[in-house]
Structure formats: structure tokens, C-alpha cells
Amino acid sequence: MVMDIRRERSSRLAVVGLFLLVLGLFLDASNFVNANAVFKVKHKFGGRGRHLSLFREHDDRRHGRSLAVDIALGGDGSPTETALYYTKVGLGTPSEVYYVQVDTGSDILWVNGIGCTKCPKKSDLGIELRLYDPEASSTAKEVTCDQEFCNVVFGNALSGCKAGAGCPYAVTYGDGSSTSGHFVKDIIQLEKPSGNLKTTIMNGTVAFGYATNQSGQLGSSSDALDGIVGFGQSNSSMLSQLANSGKVKKIFAHCLDGSQGGGIFAIGQVVEPKLNYTPLIPNQPHYNVILKTIQVDETVIQLSSNLFGSTDRGAVIDSGTTLAYLPDEIYNPLIAEILDGQPNLKFINIEQPFTCFEYSKSVDDGFPAVKFTFQNSLYLAVYPHDYLFQVREDTWCFGWMSSGIQSKDGQNMMLLGDMVLADKLILYDLENQTIGWTEYNCSSPIKIKDEETGAIYDVGYHDLSSGDNVTAGWITLMVLTFSMFACFLQNLDLHWGR
């Protein structure tokens, strides 16, 4: 998802897109005081299933527009397949429901506006799309270019700004699709844990992008949503804005159910289950961790000391990517070692570039587990049922992909996506710059600490369905995909491609 920010010819505008749509989350402090929030989850494909082409298309399109790198991937770069998990939010007074994509790798909140040209009018996801109308909300206000929010978004005062003029945004994706408009400020509502498996509503005021123009595949009705909301670690992200206002801890967790497609997503400190942690690599825009070893059963795959270049950027933890993308130095020996115990497999050509074969027995009994170990001895176990997809009876395909992904300076990249992250509770602690996880049944509740009262509450599994309603006066944010969105990739360009 390579994102270029359009503003004159200034390269600074690359940062604009990153800050653009989320920085405006200035919430009402009276309603958010060291609070937590929970979100319902819906997987676009309804869980693992048999969607090889959809999985790959999703990743191709996503990488094609967000990774500012040289990518040897197929696909047409269409941005319509960006979400694996999506959520709905309520905006305005009275509140209206909007379905948006959620991403751990981006920092933007924007929704399609009433004046939008070529915005999708329907979605194949079975959800009702709508266009945001500031005239229909009694609490909507325009964000002007001379306000502090706009200055922060652009890094300084916007060139050519005239007092009272709107604060614009414009984002162009790698496939040529674009979205543009201006910022508005309005009421948003979140669910706060108030008891075991219970929530109450808390209101806030946020600035967000009001899209009035779309081009390219953003106007497609296939799997369309109303907008994007990011959960990246930039100071401009929604989470950072809430935390900087003293309203939440800068901590969030997700547990994605790989079979059912729902799960748990919550802001706040997880107290149960207990997790082990590894540090995030500093000065990176995304969730990068240092990879130490890879084992296939007891066999250790040798990794060169400069696998990720002179600066160890490690592996990117990205729940918005479907599969796992490995540099050839890892991919080739990994596949060879996995297949070593099955010399008589019959390989079949189902779909490029997937490696598929016939197998009628239990894959967990016939294939080895793969173990990634990171700094602080935190490991990630990937079992055969995680990395093998059953596409039809007695036919399986690998979810490991040879990435071909490199930064502009030629350094390898490694992305660990939803395939290996599902069925694990993963916590992002940005206050301590760590990330932790443990294997977990995502249909079971977790325990979150309420920072305001000190109480500990159960937060449980949710599955967002098209039948869910958001009543006037409150909104429910639910998890959507974590894709590394436009900002994710533009930021890769800025930080890795210099």
C-alpha cells in the first residue's frame, strides 16, 4: 500500500498522509478519563476458508500501494482488498454508522462524504454503506488550516493558508487511486468496559478526513467500506491522541479467531492471560521485532548476520497481511526442511504462486511445526494447520510466500501476517515499546484493567455482523483489518528507502 501525499511538490507531504486523518482525534476529556475501549471483530472472508486467490489478492493490493519498496508480487494494485477485519463506528449527532477498515500499521481516520464523487454505493460484504453529511450533524465543525491540528498534520503552518480556509488532505495510492477532501470535527462514541462482558458508552470529539473525491479502485463496490481508521504507533494515531490526552493507556490488544473470523480487540492493559514480551525495534514506524532463530522441529535454519541489512529492522508484525512473506534466504530452506519428511507428496498446480499438494491424512501429524524466536526468548509457534490451507478435499497449499519484498536500499523485508498471528493474544505496549503474545482461545474472555477505577473486567469474543445496530447517541467501534495502510507504506518509504 504505497502512499504518496499530494501537496505541491513537497516531499514533506509524505508525512502528511501519515498524520493526516487520525491526528484529529481530540476526544472529549469529560468522557474519556484513563478509560479502556473494546471493539467487535469481523473477518472479511469469514475466517480461514478456501480463499487462496482472495488471500493473495488482498496482500498484493495492500503491498502494492502501501509498501514504498520494490515488490515482486502479482495483482493489479487495487486498493479494494485492504481489510481482513473491519469495524463500524458512529459519527455525528444523531449518530450514524460507518464501516471502516482498522489497521495496526496506519494512523488515519477518514470516511466518504456526501459530496464525494465516485464513492462506492454498495458493497459485496452485505453491509449498508453511507456518506457522511456534516450538514446533518448538529455537532460537526470544519477544521481550518490555521488551527493547531492542521499545523501538526503538515509539520508546520500550511503554505498559502488563509485564516478560516479548510484544512485539506489528499492521498494517492501506488495503483493511482486517490482520496481527497478536508478535515471536519465531530462526535465519536466508543464502548468502555463497565463490568464483566458489559460496556457503557463514552463520547469524544475527533477530527477526521471528510472525503469528497475518490478515483480508481477506491470507487469500486467490491468489498467496499466507508473509510479507514488506523492503530499505528505514530504520535498522530488515534491511540496516541487518546493517550496524550490522558484518556487511555497507550496499549492495545487483539486476539483474532482464525476459524470463525471474530475475536477480541481492546484498548487497555491485559492482566490475564500473562504474556511474555520482546522489545520493538526503535525508530521504526511499524511493529518491527528482532528475529533471532527459526527452527523446523529441531533443525535450525541458518540466518546471515546481515539478512535485514546493516541495520536490523527485523520482522514486521502485521495482522493486516494475510499470509507470511519471507526473504528467499529463509523461504527456500524452510520449505525444503518442511518437505523433507514427505518425499512422496504429489504436487498439483492449482494457482500461482502457491505450492499445493495432495494429502489425505492429518497435516498436524504429518508436517512439522515452525518456531520463530525473537529477542528476550519470546517465540512464535506456527503449526501445520496454521501454515497449510485446505482448498478442497485432500488438497492443501502452503501459506508461506517468497516475499520478493525489499526496501529501496535493497534490504530484505519479512512480514508475519494474520496466518501466523491468529489464535494468539497479542498486546502492543507502546508506553514501554514492547510487544507480547501467547497462544490463546480467542473465544474465551481476557481480563482488562480499568485504569479509572482499578477494577478488572472480562472482555469477550465479538463477531460483527451486518445485523448489528448502533443507536442514535452512541457508536460501536469494531475491529476491521489491520492492513498496513497507505500511511504504513509511505512511512516505509520515508524510513527505509532513504
Domain harbouring 387, CATH code? 2.40.70.10
Name the band, by pLDDT with cuts 50, 70 and 90, for residue 411. Answer: low
Can you tell me which residue has the cell 503554505? 159
Residue pLDDT, tens place only, 426-439: 999 999 999 999 99
429 found inside a domain: no
* Size (the chain), residues: 498
Residues 390, 305 share a domain: yes
Strands 37-43 and 478-479 turn out to be: parallel
C-beta of residue 209 within 8 angstroms of C-beta of residue 21: yes
How far apart are the C-alpha atoms of 85 and 104, rounded to whole Å? 11
Residues 345, 366 share a domain: yes
Residues 294, 181 share a domain: no
121 found inside a domain: yes
Q: How many domains is the chain built from?
A: 2
423 found inside a domain: no
Q: Lowest-pLDDT range, 32-46, 223-237, 287-301? A: 32-46
Residues 318, 234 share a domain: no
C-beta of residue 103 within 8 angstroms of C-beta of residue 319: no
Tell me the residue range of the domain where 370 lies.
276-418
Name the band, by pLDDT with cuts 50, 70 and 90, for residue 53. Answer: low
- C-alpha angle 389/301/363, rounded to 5°? 25
Last residue of a domain, one of 402, 418, 434: 418
Residues 455, 338 share a domain: no
Confidence at residue 413, expressed as pLDDT on a 0 to 100 scale: 78
Q: Quick one: angle between helices 486-496 and 13-20, nearest 10?
A: 140
Residue 68 has pLDDT above 60, yes or no: no
Contacts with 458 (C-beta within 8 Å, 6 or more apart), sequence order: 196, 197, 445, 446, 447
Confidence at residue 387, expressed as pLDDT on a 0 to 100 scale: 94
Confidence at residue 462, expressed as pLDDT on a 0 to 100 scale: 67
Can you tell me which residue has the cell 476491521? 480
The 8-class DSSP code of residue 442 comes to T
4 is catalytic: no
The 8-class DSSP code of residue 6 comes to -
Identify any residues that bridge with 456 across adjacent strands, giving them in sequence order. Answer: 449
Find how far residue 224's CA is from the centre of its chain: 16
The 8-class DSSP code of residue 50 comes to T
Choice among 4, 59, 60, 103 that is catalytic? 103
Residues 327, 283 share a domain: yes
Give the containing element (helix H, strand E) for 71. Answer: strand 70-71
437 found inside a domain: no
427 found inside a domain: no
C-beta of residue 125 within 8 angstroms of C-beta of residue 225: yes
Confidence at residue 248, expressed as pLDDT on a 0 to 100 scale: 77
Q: Lowest-pLDDT range, 146-160, 213-227, 366-380? A: 213-227
Q: What is the mean predicted confidence (pLDDT) over 15-27?
A: 34
Residues 27, 111 share a domain: yes
pTM: 0.75
Q: Is 418 helix (H, G, I), strand (E, B) or coil?
A: helix
User: What CA–CA distances, in Å, run from 127 to 6, 65, 130, 230?
Assistant: 31, 25, 10, 20
Strands 414-416 and 315-317 turn out to be: parallel
Confidence at residue 257, expressed as pLDDT on a 0 to 100 scale: 80
Name the band, by pLDDT with cuts 50, 70 and 90, for residue 33. Answer: very low
User: What CA–CA distances, in Å, run from 406 to 70, 174, 218, 228?
Assistant: 6, 16, 26, 26
- Strands (E) located in 104-154: 109-117, 141-142
Written as nine digits, the cell of 296 is 523446523
155 found inside a domain: yes
How far apart are the C-alpha atoms of 468 and 448, rounded to whole Å? 24
Residues 280, 265 share a domain: no
How far apart are the C-alpha atoms of 55 and 17, rounded to whole Å? 26
Choice among 60, 175, 318, 450 that is catalytic? 318
Q: Nearest Cα to 193, choosing from 471, 447, 421?
A: 447
Give the containing element (helix H, strand E) for 337. Answer: helix 328-340
How far apart are the C-alpha atoms of 64 and 234, rounded to whole Å? 22
φ, ψ of residue 487 to 5 degrees: the values are -65, -35
Residues 246, 291 share a domain: no
Residues 237, 383 share a domain: no
φ, ψ of residue 486 to 5 degrees: the values are -50, -50
Q: How many other C-beta atoms are found inside a 10 Å radius of the C-beta of residue 497?
A: 17
318 is catalytic: yes
Q: Nearest Cα to 419, choosing from 350, 338, 325?
A: 325
Identify any residues that bridge with 183 across adjacent strands, giving them in sequence order. Answer: 209
Q: Nearest Cα to 205, choosing from 91, 88, 39?
A: 91
Residues 121, 253 share a domain: yes
How far apart are the C-alpha atoms of 201 and 461, rounded to whole Å? 18
CA neighbours closer than 13 Å in the CB half-sphere of residue 105: 33
Residues 92, 74 share a domain: yes
8 found inside a domain: yes
φ, ψ of residue 375 to 5 degrees: the values are -55, 145
Q: Is 79 helix (H, G, I), strand (E, B) or coil?
A: helix
435 found inside a domain: no
Residue 159 has pLDDT above 60, yes or no: yes
